[in-house]
Structure 1
């Protein structure tokens, strides 16, 4: 029997089985958090250098996103989202058909992310080349986050595999972060104030 969804039922499902705690209490998890914070700082610095120039809004947005994802890395908010969906699926008796809901969810996320990227690209005419690496890094990073949020078991198993004691989770996530950081550093170097020669 399908349970009637009351506010209390919804509230009971939010974060069902999830408690706020350190999600990755290991060296790789903390290194990734550090990478997010470094990206946040570099992006903010790049935005500061681009004051009055094109691209400043993009880097302010990236900086805020990096801060949020860094916090999320250890609070594991996507697990709360997955657990909430699982609880609702059981209560509404559509758990057996959850694959369709997952596909619709990931399809919706893909459309939203694609629309955001298209809008950003349209507003970056003439500045795309200088920010291309950051766009690619964001694509890699957001794809990784989206896959983790949906919670496909076979995809989780794939990205959780280890190579030489290093999980592919760490590799995928940090490749995207490295691309964003490298682009920010390139902007900082390109916009560095010229040093005047010292008098003889």
Structure 2
């Protein structure tokens, strides 16, 4: 065997020993392999279809600020969006709401138990029934404009619509909390107008 062959044989042996050396268990856990997780999809964004012109619903309040007022097609409900404060509704007569399932009393502005006459959703916080004095959501300069079925009034951090099947619905854009109600029922959830609604 020549010198060249001996060197090649030793090198091959050393390489082979390096490949098949003993496995040493140090007791440590192997590093975790990262798995690709897809984040949960964001909640569906309200549709931009069927928006009305906000200007048609604007009216000055007593303090000089502008709010946006509408009435349901039946004329039973008077509603308003008070920019960056609240969106809500009350009956045209400003009496008890008459919504099935609503509480019979809520704390009034004086802290005493009172009959709720408003349903509203604030900019931040939970939607609620409230008892307020006077016309909280009535347009100060007369009868508000009708918000037709399947049209959306979206302004100043809120959106509202009226649908024949579900009733009146309003939502805070900041929290996505809202309400939907009719005389027969209510839910603490906004119901958007379907994109394909007429």
* TM-score with structure 1 setting the length: 0.24
Q: Which has the larger radius of gyration?
A: 2
Higher strand share: 2
* TM-score with structure 2 setting the length: 0.24
Higher helix share: 1
